[in-house]
Amino acid sequence: MIFDSNELLCTNLLTTPKPEVGTILVTGATGYVGGRLVPELLARGYKVKVMARVYTKDLQQRWPQAEIVVADALNLDELNLALKDVKVAYYLIHSLLLGPKKFEKADILAANNFRAAAEKNKLDRIIYLGALGDKNSHLSPHLRSRLHVAEVLQLGEISTTVLRAAIIIGSGSASYEILKSLVKNTPILFLPYWAKTKCQPISIRTLINILVGVLETEGTEGQSYDVGGFEILTYERLLKIMAKIQNKKRLFVHTSFSNFKFYSYIASFLTPVPAPVIKTLFQSGKNEVLCNNEGKLPNSIYKPVTFKETVLRAMTREELDKVHTRWSDEYPRAYELAIKLKELEKPPYYISAYSLVTSKPANSLFSSFCKIGGDEGWFNQNWMWKLRGILDSILLGVGTSRGRRSMNTIRIHDVVGFFRVEELEMNKRLLLRAEMKLPGKAWLEFKTNEENTLNRLTISAYFEPDGWKGKVYWYNFLPFHHIIFSNLIKNIERRS
Ligand SMILES: NC(=O)c1ccc[n+]([C@@H]2O[C@H](COP(=O)([O-])OP(=O)(O)OC[C@H]3O[C@@H](n4cnc5c(N)ncnc54)[C@H](OP(=O)(O)O)[C@@H]3O)[C@@H](O)[C@H]2O)c1
């Protein structure tokens, strides 16, 4: 199966759908939270506009009933068009991936633009998901920026509901994958002082229920709510609970060494999450993110669950291979803007192709090569792929341990190790674009073609070098290509 069906999360909500609210715009729909919110709204009968910075076919394929609008929140004109005829907007945007020097300014500009466009288009309401954190304490830049965005949106004429959440735990969430992998992959865990910081993690399922619930609950307009899980726990406790769930005996050692950069770098080798993402999360780890229950959400929307229950749910989703969105959907930033193979003016400078003819049917060859990466590895010479990934992590690249969202389903833009799916043609072709650090641009293509009554399976590596460094790189890796691809093609055929 290429595309997966979306399983709904709002099955036990006590609120009733109100499609009469009019058209709803979901920003950040390509992200972790937005990607789960859209199918819920559609299933409840709402008219939904999905806002993305780049139009891609897969968005329409994922949500055929939704209208896709293209706009960058940093561009007021584009926003004005996107918000036309919209009545309610979910604001799920952050600019974190622009890096520490730029993201705060971009967050404020985007929020100001959004407020202006919402006023111009006379929206009834904005619902913003931000983050917890005490504004009177010394907040990390990320948490500080989330609070500023809330203030900017609330300054306007449009009634804005602000939901403030702590870390989100769920299948595919970065925080969950970091905690799980740290415990799984290292027998000794060194804990800096900030491991004692308290937090109130929330399950993604609860959060989606809340996002939909406030839309359907009168009186929540213009209010601010802190939303969190059932318990207040330290990060150390989260790791210990995780170790218990995984049935792993781990040694926890407290240390006075607390450098965020160092811990993020080391954690990037132990988890699928790259160092820059981990660093942002760790930096916020020094701030308590706890609910201050001043304005309480009605019980009809809000049923917090324990951290243990949340983790068990996430693990079940992984076992069922039903992870719908993942942090890697959004990393690295603006990957949608990367040059595509078909956009090159000339064919790539280097092409090496391997092929064989087989009696196996095209659909089984296709499903065999679509399983590449992730838990099943690269079918042969896995150590070589791993080594290349480690090299990439050392250079602060994406690494190969990102794995994949699902083993049995694949869609355009999914991550596959250090590649990303660029094109996908059912029973014919899978084109992967390399996202690792390279002196050039690289693609890997798997293709089947009918040849008389048989099928030809072809693997092609394409490389467009950046100057002499790229050329040296290509010739250095050519012998490895030969070993890897000639074995890979046989394994794909054998497994199909
Ligand atoms: N994930 C968590 O653990 C967590 C915890 C607490 C609160 N939150 C809050 O929840 C919200 C959503 O978080 P998330 O984890 O779903 O984020 P995410 O996966 O990183 O996605 C961010 C989204 O923002 C969009 N975006 C960024 N810059 C944009 C711009 N200039 N114009 C239009 N769209 C832009 C991205 O679109 P592109 O695809 O075009 O890049 C993407 O869809 C955020 O406000 C975040 O602070 C998240």
pLDDT tens profile 393-440: 888 888 767 888 888 889 888 999 889 999 999 999 999 999 988 999
Q: Percentage of residues in the chain with pLDDT exceeding 70?
A: 97
Please indicate whether residue 415, judged by its CB atom, sits closer than 6 Å to ligand 1. no
Mutational test site, ligand 1, from 94, 284, 327, 328, max ligand atoms within 8 Å of CB? 94
Closest residue by CA, ligand 1 atom 25: 28
User: What was the pLDDT predicted at 390?
Assistant: 85
> Is the confidence at residue 1, as pLDDT, over 60?
no
Ligand 1 centroid–CA 465 distance in Å is 33
> Is the confidence at residue 333, as pLDDT, over 80?
no
Please indicate whether residue 52, judged by its CB atom, sits closer than 6 Å to ligand 1. yes
Please indicate whether residue 15, judged by its CB atom, sits closer than 6 Å to ligand 1. no
| Mean pLDDT, rounded, for 72-99 | 95
Please indicate whether residue 380, judged by its CB atom, sits closer than 6 Å to ligand 1. no
Ligand 1 centroid–CA 93 distance in Å is 4
Ligand 1 centroid–CA 15 distance in Å is 26
Please indicate whether residue 36, judged by its CB atom, sits closer than 6 Å to ligand 1. no
Looking from the CA of residue 168, the nearest atom of ligand 1 is 3
Domains, the chain: 10-329 (3.40.50.720), 338-495 (3.30.530.20)
Ligand 1 centroid–CA 369 distance in Å is 31
pLDDT tens profile 244-298: 999 999 999 999 999 999 999 999 999 999 888 899 899 999 999 999 866 678 8
Please indicate whether residue 31, judged by its CB atom, sits closer than 6 Å to ligand 1. yes
Ligand 1 centroid–CA 455 distance in Å is 43
Strand arrangement, sheet containing 48-52: 67-70, 48-52, 23-26, 86-91, 125-131, 159-165, 224-227
Please indicate whether residue 27, judged by its CB atom, sits closer than 6 Å to ligand 1. yes
Please indicate whether residue 133, judged by its CB atom, sits closer than 6 Å to ligand 1. no
Ligand 1 centroid–CA 193 distance in Å is 29
Q: Which of 117-126, 130-139, 206-215, 292-301 has the lowest mean pLDDT?
A: 292-301
- 351 band by pLDDT with thresholds 50, 70 and 90: very high
Are 466 and 349 in contact by the 8 Å Cβ rule? The answer is no
Closest residue by CA, ligand 1 atom 41: 334
Q: Closest Cα partner for 100 from 140, 133, 130?
A: 140
Q: What is the pTM of this model?
A: 0.88
Between 329 and 17, residue with greater pLDDT: 17
User: What was the pLDDT predicted at 267?
Assistant: 94
Question: For tokens 């838990």, what's the residue?
Answer: 375
> Is the confidence at residue 490, as pLDDT, over 70?
yes
Are 496 and 372 in contact by the 8 Å Cβ rule? The answer is no
Closest residue by CA, ligand 1 atom 46: 130
Please indicate whether residue 78, judged by its CB atom, sits closer than 6 Å to ligand 1. no
| Mean pLDDT, rounded, for 24-41 | 96
